[in-house]
Amino acid sequence: MPRDPRHDILFEPIRIGPVVAKNRFYQVPHCNGMGHARPRSHAAMRGVKAEGGWAVVSTEEVEIHPSSDVSPYIEGRLWSDRDIPALALMTEAIHAHGALAAIEPVHAGMNAANLYSREVALAPSHIANPASYAPAQARAMTKADIRNFRRWHRDAALRARRAGFDIIYVYAAHSLSLPMHFLQSRHNHRTDEYGGSLENRVRLLRELIEDTKEAVGADCAVAVRFAVDEVRGEDGIRCTGEGREVVEMLAELPDLWDVNVSDWANDSKTSRFAPEGFQEDFVRFVKTVTTKPVVGVGRFTSPDTMVSQIRRGVLDLIGAARPSIADPFLPSKIDSGDIDDIRECIGCNVCVTGDHTMTPIRCTQNPTMGEEWRKGWHPETVPPRSGNDSFLIVGAGPTGLECARLLGRRGYAVAVAEASGQLGGRVTKEARLPGLAAWARVRDYRLHQLNKMGNVEIFRASHVTADLAMQFGAARIVLATGSTWRRDGVGRANTRPIPGFDREGAVFTPEDLMEGATPTGPVIVFDDDHYYLGAVLAEQLRAGGLAVMLVTPADRVSAWTVNTLEQHAIQRHLLELGIEVMTSRNVVDFDGARALLQCTYTERQFTAPAASIVTVTARLPNAELAHALLLAADGVARAGIVSVDSIGDCLAPSTIAAAVYAGHRYAREFDRPQHDAESFRRELPLESPG
Ligand code: ADP
Ligand code: SF4
């Protein structure tokens, strides 16, 4: 298809200082859990973005000195010349596709715990790291420290140029770097020329920009990443105050302004809490005070929204981290007019969890993310079929749909049978809950692809039994039958059924609610799952006017969502809705009028009024069909069926991301030799780079 002429503006080249971006698509820095520890994986992942049409592809934050060691988090590292070859792998992969490579050198200041280097952390003033409870403080920098830091930053810029980078950042965003800490009056209590007035607090940032331009400015563009607003009121930088003044003071100094809001949780808000383009009100002033190109973010996936940002003078370049993760080929799909094929980010922040758990990045929508090098997976190409096998996939949830999409792409004959009248499984049900509408993109992208394939048939309202599966005539049967929430309260805190949870009509599972059941209040949501669903259901019940208490054995609501940057927003939201939050409490009994709660520390017990309980604890695989086929092994063999495999939630319940991955993995790997030990390539420290 030809490109829509309305989108032509997105493909205009943009000059950034001494370099030219071939279009307006700019992959801003983002962490990935690979960094310095897994440089080949990292390079391959960035290379795929460049292949997909992004004009600029950036690193994550890159530590510049042992006193900026953010271990155990795995970011980039450029402490010395010895780090250059690993980063050069990345610039080579990016340049191979005609894109520019950008690097974000960072001194994390008080945010660097220096657990590996054991250096003392540095800060404008004596201060404890506000983001952790670690019993260590950063020391106030002397003038000599500031001179040293400037030298380290300059050296990093020179090394970055040698590594092949085209754009070199000065980073003052997310409250994660020294120049930003110096800007923040709450962290900078100095009385010398680096403290006090804004003119003084901005001095270090100005010097770093000047140093970098002087060192590498002839060849490399110098970008500033600056958080114009910290979204914390008068205590922080605001786009109507000092945020604007900083841009005015330094307006023409850098070659590019990359502007956003701070901290990371505000910058990378999930779709549950912010729509596409949500940063516009904060950053739109920037282009009115500088002539330099401006890049900004906002989970942009719609080309029309992108065009609007440019036409209305908000941004010059469309910045993206998550949209480039969910679809590395987003620019080239817009270029070729295939916008319906864009795999839109759902805004779930599963990608962020890689950084928090120090493991390679993963993505709900794009199961190849993080697997480019270690499994050789590509987001757009798949190996052709290796035989004439036909497939029956049972279940059209995220596992079944992704499996069908990929087997179909490989050229196999595929039938998908779904018991219910609707496709999408849990995704379709959950997308109807408050704040989760974007989840439906997981289904919609896949259905759109499947509808284009002549070799994939989808049967709705088709409950598959063992007999039907054997009669169907497919060579391989893939069970993607999902899972069901438990009703008995068994989960992490309770390994045996909770007394009273067998009461008819008073205990509800998430599926009951998603299918329209209406508990009477007061209702207790017992969340021993600790991800998003418990809090979302509490919100839905509250919206229905019930008195709701959320009880969790964890010390905070939705505890695991710390890893998706949402925990604070979720707990705040529940409290604002008037939901009573009871943390560190287990539910140990229920009599239909009251629940008995027990403190997880002292075992002290309390009663709480409860006419109904919603139990969000654990799920059981829907394994009936798998068991029946196992029992009918002889019949299965006689029917010529060569394999029966359970994948996704029906094997072991997990995230939607894991379900999509399971479907994808099966379709790629069912015909490959299976290895007992390692199913992917591993990066070993003692291998020579290359
Ligand atoms: P996953 O996350 O693994 O994809 P889901 O629970 O989202 O799991 O989806 C599983 C789907 O399988 C549901 O839509 C369910 O209706 C369907 N299903 C379960 N058992 C059968 C069966 N025996 N025949 C056909 N479809 C089934
Ligand atoms: Fe978007 Fe979720 Fe993928 Fe991250 S994991 S890129 S938020 S779909």
DSSP 302-317: -HHHHHHHHHTTS-SE
By most ligand atoms within 8 Å of CB, the mutation choice from 622, 627, 644 for ligand 1 is 622
Burial 76-107 (b: 16+ CB within 10 A, else e): bbbbeeebeebbbbbbebbbebebbbbbbbbb
Strands (E), 220-330: 221-229, 256-261, 294-296, 317-320
Q: Report CA(165)–ligand 2 centroid distance (Å).
A: 27
| Ligand with smallest separation from the Cα of 321 | 2
Q: pLDDT tier at 155 (50, 70, 90 boundaries)? A: very high
Over its C-alpha atoms, the chain yields an Rg (Å, rounded) of 27
Query: What is the percentage of the chain residues whose pLDDT exceeds 90?
Result: 96
Q: Look up residue 432 and give its two tokens.
A: 């109807």
Q: Report CA(480)–ligand 1 centroid distance (Å).
A: 6
Which of 125-134, 158-167, 516-525, 544-553 comes out lowest in average pLDDT?
125-134
Q: pLDDT tier at 685 (50, 70, 90 boundaries)? A: confident
Which of 230-244, 567-581, 662-676 comes out lowest in average pLDDT?
662-676
- Residue 158's nearest CA partner among 80, 68, 56 is 80
For the CA of 399, the closest atom of ligand 1 is: 4
DSSP 566-597: -HHHHHHHHHHTT-EEEESEEEEEE-SSEEEE
Instruction: Check pocket membership of 369 for ligand 2, CB cut-off 6 A.
Output: no
Catalytic member of 36, 153, 174, 187? 174
Which pLDDT score is estimated for 175? Answer: 92
| Ligand with smallest separation from the Cα of 422 | 1
**pTM for this model (two decimals):** 0.97
Catalytic member of 30, 31, 255, 341? 31
Q: pLDDT tier at 689 (50, 70, 90 boundaries)? A: low
Question: Which pLDDT tens digit goes with each residue over 267-290?
Answer: 999 999 999 999 999 999 999 999
Please give the DSSP secondary-structure letter assigned to residue 46. H
The Cα–Cα gap between 610 and 441 comes to: 36
Q: Report CA(423)–ligand 1 centroid distance (Å).
A: 9
Instruction: Check pocket membership of 348 for ligand 2, CB cut-off 6 A.
Output: yes
DSSP H or E stretch at residue 549: strand 548-552
Question: Which pLDDT tens digit goes with each residue over 322-354?
Answer: 999 999 999 999 999 999 999 999 999 999 999
- Residue 319's nearest CA partner among 104, 159, 158 is 104
**For residue 434, is pLDDT > 70?**
yes
| Ligand with smallest separation from the Cα of 621 | 1
Q: Angle at CA 314, nearest 5°, toward 309 and 316?
A: 80
By most ligand atoms within 8 Å of CB, the mutation choice from 481, 619, 627, 661 for ligand 1 is 481
Q: Report CA(482)–ligand 1 centroid distance (Å).
A: 5
174 a catalytic residue: yes
Q: Say if CB 525 and CB 518 are below 8 A apart.
A: no
Instruction: Check pocket membership of 418 for ligand 1, CB cut-off 6 A.
Output: yes
Number of H helices, E strands in the chain: 24, 29
| Ligand with smallest separation from the Cα of 485 | 1
599 a catalytic residue: no
Q: Report CA(404)–ligand 1 centroid distance (Å).
A: 13
Catalytic member of 211, 229, 258, 267? 267
**For residue 414, is pLDDT > 80?**
yes
Q: Whose Cα sits closest to atom 2 in ligand 2?
A: 348
Mean pLDDT along residues 421-446 = 98
Burial classification of residue 520, based on how many CB atoms lie within 10 Å of its CB (0-12 exposed, 13-18 middle, 19 or more buried): exposed
Please give the DSSP secondary-structure letter assigned to residue 97. T
Q: Report CA(396)–ligand 1 centroid distance (Å).
A: 6
Q: pLDDT tier at 487 (50, 70, 90 boundaries)? A: very high
Instruction: Check pocket membership of 322 for ligand 2, CB cut-off 6 A.
Output: yes
| Ligand with smallest separation from the Cα of 425 | 1
Mean pLDDT along residues 374-379 = 97
Q: Whose Cα sits closest to atom 3 in ligand 2?
A: 363
Q: Look up residue 495 and give its two tokens.
A: 């390994």
Instruction: Check pocket membership of 347 for ligand 1, CB cut-off 6 A.
Output: no
Which pLDDT score is estimated for 130? Answer: 75
If one counts every other C-beta atom within 10 angstroms of the C-beta of residue 37, the result is 17
Q: Report CA(400)–ligand 1 centroid distance (Å).
A: 8
Which pLDDT score is estimated for 132? Answer: 79
Q: Whose Cα sits closest to atom 5 in ligand 2?
A: 363
For the CA of 349, the closest atom of ligand 2 is: 7
Q: Report CA(649)–ligand 1 centroid distance (Å).
A: 9
Q: Report CA(346)–ligand 2 centroid distance (Å).
A: 6
**For residue 688, is pLDDT > 60?**
no
**For residue 17, is pLDDT > 80?**
yes
The Cα–Cα gap between 238 and 264 comes to: 16
Instruction: Check pocket membership of 398 for ligand 1, CB cut-off 6 A.
Output: yes
Q: Look up residue 228 and give its two tokens.
A: 């114009």
31 a catalytic residue: yes
Mean pLDDT along residues 128-152 = 92
Instruction: Check pocket membership of 464 for ligand 1, CB cut-off 6 A.
Output: yes
- Residue 121's nearest CA partner among 51, 50, 71 is 71
Q: What Å distances lie between residue 344 and 172, 431, 445, CA to CA?
A: 29, 15, 8
Burial 240-274 (b: 16+ CB within 10 A, else e): eebbbbbbeebeebbbbbbbbbbbbbbbbbbbbbb
Q: Say if CB 364 and CB 402 are below 8 A apart.
A: no
| Averaged pLDDT of the chain | 96
